[in-house]
Structures are given as C-alpha cells and as structure tokens.
Amino acid sequence: MKLLERLPATSTRVEQNTAPELNHAVRKRADAELERLQGASNEQFIARLEELDREWDIERLLQVNASSLALTGLALAYTVDRRFLWLPAGIFTFLAQHAWQGWCPPIPLFRRLGVRTAREIERERYALKVMKGDFDHVPAPGQADASARVRAVLAAVDA
Amino acid sequence: VNPLQTDRVRRHTAAAVLRRIDEVTADSLNEHASAGSAHFAERLQALDREWDIDRTIEAEASAMGLLALGLGAFASRRLLALPVMIAASMLLYGTTGRYPLLPIFRRLGLRTAREIARERYALKALRGDFAHMQREPSTATVATTQVRTATGVDQRRAAELQDTL
C-alpha cells in the first residue's frame, strides 16, 4: 500500500510527466473553446459534447500505438531475424513504465501534437455541461434533503 | 448527451456488473451528501489516485508480455505465440474496447476514467462548486471564468504537480 501511495495519481500522471508549457497550451485551447461557446445554442453544445465523446485520449492512442509496434516486431522476428524480438521487449517495458509512472517515449511527441488525457477531456466536458445549464436545477447545500440533491446531481451529470 | 452511453468499455460490460459499478458511485454520493463538506476533499483525492481500467490493463498486459517474450525467447519458440496474442488483445482493446480479461477486471469493480470523472464532478456539484453559476445571458462571461476556477487544478493539485516536476 505504501508503494501505491508513492506512485503518481492515475488521472494526473501524464500531466506530471509533460513540460508545463505543453500542459498550459492544452488548457488554453480548451479554455478558448469554452470562450467560443459562450451563449451558444443547445445544439452547438451538444455537437461539441459529441466531439468529446469521440475524442481519442492519450491512453487509447498509446495502447494502439504500442500494440501495433509490438506486433510488427514479432512479425519481423518470425520472418526476418530473431533479434527483432528486442522491439516488443522494449515496447512492453515502456508500456509498463507508462502504466506505473506516466511516461514513455511517445508522450512528449503526442503531447506536443495536443493529444489530451481523459482528465483534460472530462474537465472540458463538465465545464460545457455547466455552461449549457445541466447543473441549474441542483439545489444548493441545505436547500433540499440529501437524497433529493443526489438525484438532481445524477440527473445533471447524465443529462 | 450522457457521457456513459458512449463509453466503449461500458458497451462490453454485462448489465448486472454495470449496475453494481454505478451503485458504488451512488452510494458514495449519498454518503457524502449527508456527511457534510469535510469529507469531500478526501474523496476527490482518492478518485484522482484510483487506478482506472486503462492503467490496469496497461500494467497487466506489459507484465504478461515481457514474461511471455522471455519464455518464447529462452524456453520454446512456439511460446512466441503468447506475446502475439497479448499484443493483439491490446490492439483489440484500444480499437473496440473488448479485452479478454475485461469481465474479470470489471467484476473486481475497476472503473473507466469516465465513470470516475462522473463521480468526481457529481461530488463537486453536491459540494456546491457550481452553485453560483446558474445560466443567465448577461453574466455569461462571469460564468465562464467561474467554471474555469471551479473545474481547474485547485491549489493542492497545482502544488502536487510542481513538486513532481
């Protein structure tokens, strides 16, 4: 348990391993998007939320990237030279490093290309939902009993 | 636009298991709604640390892959079929959201990043983080700024980030 506590948090481990100015650029782009949608119509909000639903986060991209490279290395090991086994070995090692620590060689490149973490995408999603008014009917603390507030909050996040 | 509906891992999780996973979220919300604001920060921190399904699968597949490669390289060439299967499963997971061990991981209660984020923002709404942001056209600018502060990296996390960098 001690070891697990010393590992970087799941949701922020990629940000922790990205240059601050790249994190900042990702955030600025999201904020500009929120700015652009100020006072937008319901349809415009929904269109953007659907884009976010389809957006590939960095985990998904890494999984596809790592597995295709590993398969390529294995195919080359079968057909060309056994020494190509070093390729999947390197890939699996870096994938492990990414899972535990949050860094692997493609991260700087992907982050420069603006690929976002799930956390960054979700932040934009819920900011949009607040602007769209999904949370308008949540009673303030003390204005309704606990179970009514939970029901209202769940309706808002699932709206 | 329900964020859970388009979650590709949820599409490949049995309905009964989904119900159980969502119940855990609802229980946490109910507990915090009646417990008062002191416990929110602690729970939000725990959600940040929670291992999601992606991180778990990456850790599992990479460990199995290395083990299988070792066996294939030193024990028997035929065992090289194992890392091929592991890499192919991961490719399948990344593209479709199916994964051979997914039923087990989901029954163990491992959640997707989206499910965790849903609890996170529901908690923030319960705490009242969005309370002063009712939509009124005249205050739209103010609302955006407020959304930004409420959803942004809070002081503690900013400090944590800087410590690690």
Q: What is the pLDDT of residues A51-90, one digit of tens each?
A: 999 999 999 999 999 999 999 999 999 999 999 999 999 9
What is the pLDDT, as a whole number, of residue A1? 63
Structure tokens at A51: 């884009």
Collapsing DSSP states into helix, strand and coil, what is residue B157? helix
Q: Residue B157 burial by CB count (10 A; 0-12/13-18/19+): exposed, middle or buried?
A: middle
Our CA-based measurement puts residue B71 at a distance from the nearest CA of chain A, in whole angstroms, of: 12
Q: Please judge whether A59 and B134 are an interchain contact, meaning their C-beta atoms are less than 8 angstroms apart.
A: no
pTM listed for this prediction: 0.89
Quick: pLDDT tens for B117-150. Answer: 999 999 999 998 888 775 544 444 445 556 655 6
Q: What is the DSSP letter of B129?
A: T
Which H or E run includes A149? helix A146-158
Mean pLDDT across A107-125: 97
What is the pLDDT, as a whole number, of residue B149? 58
What is the pLDDT, as a whole number, of residue B144? 56
Q: Please judge whether B26 and A135 are an interchain contact, meaning their C-beta atoms are less than 8 angstroms apart.
A: no
What is the pLDDT, as a whole number, of residue B38? 79
Structure tokens at A122: 């979700």
Structure tokens at B139: 């205050």
Mean pLDDT across A136-140: 90
What is the pLDDT, as a whole number, of residue B163? 39
What is the pLDDT, as a whole number, of residue B148? 56
Residues in chain B with pLDDT < 70? Answer: 134-165
Our CA-based measurement puts residue A115 at a distance from the nearest CA of chain B, in whole angstroms, of: 15
Buried b / exposed e across A72-98, counting CB within 10 Å, b at 16+? ebbebbeeeeeebbebbbebbebbbbb
Q: Please judge whether A141 and B144 are an interchain contact, meaning their C-beta atoms are less than 8 angstroms apart.
A: no
Our CA-based measurement puts residue A58 at a distance from the nearest CA of chain B, in whole angstroms, of: 10
Chain B residues with CB-CB distance to A68 below 8 A: 91
In this predicted structure, the answer to whether residue A116 has a pLDDT above a threshold of 90 is yes
Nearest to B143 among A100, A131, A146 (CB): A131
Q: Please judge whether A68 and B91 are an interchain contact, meaning their C-beta atoms are less than 8 angstroms apart.
A: yes
Q: Please judge whether B151 and A136 are an interchain contact, meaning their C-beta atoms are less than 8 angstroms apart.
A: no
What is the pLDDT, as a whole number, of residue B160? 43
Residue B96 CB neighbour total at 10 angstroms: 12
Question: Considering only alpha carbons, which residue of chain B is nearest residue A65?
Answer: B91
Question: Considering only alpha carbons, which residue of chain A is nearest residue B65?
Answer: A92
Helices B140-151 and A118-132: crossing angle, nearest 10°? Answer: 150
Quick: pLDDT tens for A5-43. Answer: 889 999 999 999 999 999 999 999 999 999 999 989 999
What is the pLDDT, as a whole number, of residue B85? 97
**Confidence grade of residue A130 (pLDDT, cut at 50, 70, 90):** very high
Buried b / exposed e across B67-91, counting CB within 10 Å, b at 16+? ebbeebbeeeeeebebbbebbebbb
What is the pLDDT, as a whole number, of residue A119? 97
Give the side-chain half-sphere CA count within 13 A for B118: 25
B159 contact A CB<8A? no
Collapsing DSSP states into helix, strand and coil, what is residue B108? coil
What is the pLDDT, as a whole number, of residue A142? 81
